Structure 1
Amino acid sequence: MRVVSLVPSLTEAVAATDPALLVGVTDWCSHPPGLAAARIGGTKNPDVAAVAALAPDLVLANEEENRAPDLAALRAAGLQVMVTEVRDLPQALRELDRVLVRGCRLPRPAWLDEAEAAWRDLRPPLAPTRAVVPIWRRPWMVLGRSTFAGDLLARLGVTNVYARHAERYPRVPLEELRACGADLVVLPDEPYRFSAQDGPEAFPGLPAAPVSGRHLTWYGPSLAEAPAVLSRALRAARP
């Protein structure tokens, strides 16, 4: 089986199960470090010809991270493309099982069971807390409705202020964000690399929790340690 992954989360998931399957990955696939696979461009601009030249049996994609025209071009080149949809934790776990067991024909990995157990046995580390969760600035964008990251935060006791917004990743003026009534600002380090300095600068007087974007937004082996990693970051901001 030869696999090309267009999604960093799925690259890590396959690599943690059987890295020999991966023949191509994107420029953004950073885990595990030193992965021996061809680089075929970005998630939004994969080199279709380079992917086809690798003769994969399966291309892994995601409906949010990858563009429909690119996926159509891959299919037109005669390649089998498996597209995932991930809006919450249960769906992520189901999709990981589908990708690895059905798509890649691998045994269900132990790390997936560990990830399920880590979240099933979790006790929220925070009292109910309202938070705004920026994912970009210039312009400011935040988590909105039906997001995987928002679902993880909810399981940790954090309610996303914009969870009922009509859009999944709305653009919101900074003045409105400052007046939204949040108790906390959660600052992931990807896709925009927010730092601890971004909170006091943009949200004066509001506690800021810098968190690992990989643990908040990736669905793969990182899910097993994500509850502990995210809980520590949130408790440090609101002890």
Structure 2
Amino acid sequence: MTDPHDDLGAPVPVRRPVRRVVSLVPSLTDAIAATCPEVLIAATDWCTHPPGLEVERVRGTKNPNVRRIVALAPDLVVCNQEENRRLDVERLRAAGIPVWVTRITTLDEAFTAMTNLFGTALAVELPAWLTEAQRIWSAPPPEPAVRAVIPIWRNPWMVVGRDTFTGDLARRLGLHLVHADRPDRYPTVPEAELTVDVDLAVLPDEPYVFTKTDGPEAFPGIPVALVAGRLLTWYGPSLVVARTELSAALGRTPAD
């Protein structure tokens, strides 16, 4: 039997059956815990969902404890091209640990990646939450699009730009990101240009924790929506509720 290939086309010698999984991505941890929780043995410190998750912690997404992960002898480690470092993937593979890397820059890629992860890598039945999320997000976006900005940091201001999962989610919510024509995926924007042609500012609570008193004051005269960052950036079971909750926060109703 040939080895399955991950989202980057790399062959992964998955150990069958998969009983021990380490997740180095919060979204993937949430997805696995909602689908086949019995296989999850370790996750990062940033894996906050589901609440009460009791597995070993192996530091962060950018500085995982590679030595400890190898000692745990997992059947599979799951990563993401954007959130994890190639160096750590290479170190784990060099130590003989199978690593499955996902690539997700759009919602469709998220659905494909989840299908590959569960159906191919983990070889389990596709979860009901995935089917439901696909149904929910199949509705067309509301029109006309609202010109918006989604900051992810301040001092300096950084915003969601082109070729990003969050940017694609925003488009499906009926938003047009005004800074998405810049070359960087998460461009740094001078404060003087931040609000030009912006009709709505969407402020998430991660990675920068925007609050009622930290962020809205930078957008005088512009409507501001404070939202859960997880709903904008995670591609696990939160997608089932993300469209309804974000649409309500943004004042946008999906088209029929």
Q: TM-score, normalised by structure 1?
A: 0.94
Partners of 1:75 and 1:128 lie apart in 2 by 45
Q: Which runs of 5+ in 1 are unaligned?
A: none
What are the within-5 Å matches in structure 2 for residues 162-181 of structure 1? 162-178=179-195, 180-181=196-197
Match of 1:217 in 2: 233
Higher helix share: 1
Which residue, out of 40, 53, 58, partners 1:35? Answer: 53
Partners of 1:122 and 1:211 lie apart in 2 by 21
What are the within-5 Å matches in structure 2 for residues 83-232 of structure 1? 83-121=101-139, 124=142, 127-178=144-195, 180-232=196-248
Q: Once the two structures are superposed, what CA deviation does each residue of 1:12-44 show, in whole Å capped at 9, x if it has no partner?
A: 000000111101100000011111211000001
Q: Once the two structures are superposed, what CA deviation does each residue of 1:176-231 show, in whole Å capped at 9, x if it has no partner?
A: 113x2110111011111111333431111111111111111000100111110100
- What is the CA RMSD across the aligned residues, in angstroms? 1.3
Residues paired across the two proteins, number: 234
Q: For the Cα contact (< 8 Å) 2:141–2:171, is it kept in 1?
A: no
The share of aligned pairs that are identical, in percent, is 55
Q: For the Cα contact (< 8 Å) 2:169–2:232, is it kept in 1?
A: yes
Q: Which runs of 5+ in 2 are unaligned?
A: 1-18
SS in 2 for 1:105: coil
SS in 1 for 2:33: helix
Q: CA distance change for structure 1 residues 122 and 223 in 2, over 3 Å: closer, same or farther? A: farther
Partners of 1:194 and 1:79 lie apart in 2 by 38
Q: TM-score, normalised by structure 2?
A: 0.88
Q: Once the two structures are superposed, what CA deviation does each residue of 1:68-89 show, in whole Å capped at 9, x if it has no partner?
A: 1111111111111111111111
Match of 1:14 in 2: 32
Match of 2:15 in 1: none
Partners of 2:155 and 2:117 lie apart in 1 by 35
Partners of 2:141 and 2:204 lie apart in 1 by 22
